Structure 1
């Protein structure tokens, strides 16, 4: 996590060093107006923010153990993971072991984002008068 990420109202609540599921090798480049909030071992941008309320993440805070199991059993996924140096069965075991903590982290991230997205919002902004 970057220093900006540690201070961020949304990403800052994710425990520093806590693992997050990332099931791809895709990478992005942060735009000139993006603030990089987290980096990973395999990607220079894991989370970013543009402005006050727009966030993007490369990792999957929504993945719980059941979803990891479903993902791993998908067509071609075990081979894809092995080719990337990941043992699929070890991944599932780790997801099961960390399931409760990861659910709390993911739910907390979503709750913090919902709070930030709703703060100081004028419900009439952008509507037509009359």
Structure 2
């Protein structure tokens, strides 16, 4: 199993998805596209694609000119019936590649908040793991419309489209299920000024919220990661 992983920003690793891929003995080709590393021309050399998050928008082509090609690459993988996982910005790029509208500049959704599956999500191979409602970590402001032909899988109180599926195994997931408590703590250090700009009380709240929600969110994230890897 050979998986192409695209990093769109610094300090945005695979997290729990990386654990699941390692458990499956996957070979990972990591491309730091934000740092100028080039995308492959197509999907032939890989069995699956992961597109991670980032600070930029999915339409920030002037500053990140590789974004249109990455959106198109996600479509090529899906058209070849290969598994795709887009997380946060990655989900927005998958949506862009499949004809959705990117909606920019909404209020920030940040921290551990619950997500609930749609009726279709309750029967989905991944999102059934949510149960009726589960806490997950969020960090985004932008969102999307549902891509044509996609199945809407999950929502939160502030964001209608938290997850969708196209075909058999192309998933866009807005929330950061890959981010366990350890990764969230790393983000606290790496992005302290950015977090303080929109959530100045976060560093006071974080220990309590991590204790209250982190264990369940970590377990759910690991389950979602394993379920997606099983689809490859």
Q: TM-score, normalised by structure 1?
A: 0.77
Over aligned residues, Cα RMSD in angstroms? 1.6
What is the aligned partner in structure 2 of residue 62 from structure 1?
178
What is the aligned partner in structure 2 of residue 50 from structure 1?
166
What is the aligned partner in structure 1 of residue 39 from structure 2?
none
In structure 1, what is the Cα distance between the partners aligned to 2:199 and 2:122? 30
Aligned residues: 113
Which of 117, 120, 130 is matched with 1:4 structurally? 120
Which of 200, 204, 211 is matched with 1:96 structurally? 211
In structure 1, what is the Cα distance between the partners aligned to 2:220 and 2:180? 10
Per-residue CA deviation, residues 76-121 of structure 1 (Å, 9 max, x unaligned), is 2122124xxxx40324421233332222111110111122x23xxx
Per-residue CA deviation, residues 40-93 of structure 1 (Å, 9 max, x unaligned), is 1111100000001111100000112222223234132122124xxxx4032442
Query: Max radius of gyration: which structure?
Result: 1
Could you tell me how far 1:21 is from its partner in structure 2? 1.0
Secondary structure of 2:134's partner?
A: coil
In structure 2, what is the Cα distance between the partners aligned to 1:58 and 1:22? 8
Q: TM-score, normalised by structure 2?
A: 0.45
In structure 1, what is the Cα distance between the partners aligned to 2:128 and 2:164? 12
In structure 2, what is the Cα distance between the partners aligned to 1:91 and 1:27? 25
Unaligned runs of 5+ in 2: 1-116
Unaligned runs of 5+ in 1: 119-130
Query: Relative contact order (alpha carbons < 8 A, sep ≥ 6): 1 or 2 greater?
Result: 1
Which 10-residue stretch deviates more, 45-54 or 62-71?
62-71
What is the aligned partner in structure 1 of residue 132 from structure 2?
16
Secondary structure of 1:22's partner?
A: strand
Is the Cα contact below 8 Å between 1:64 and 1:95 reproduced in 2? no
User: Greater strand percent: which structure?
Assistant: 2
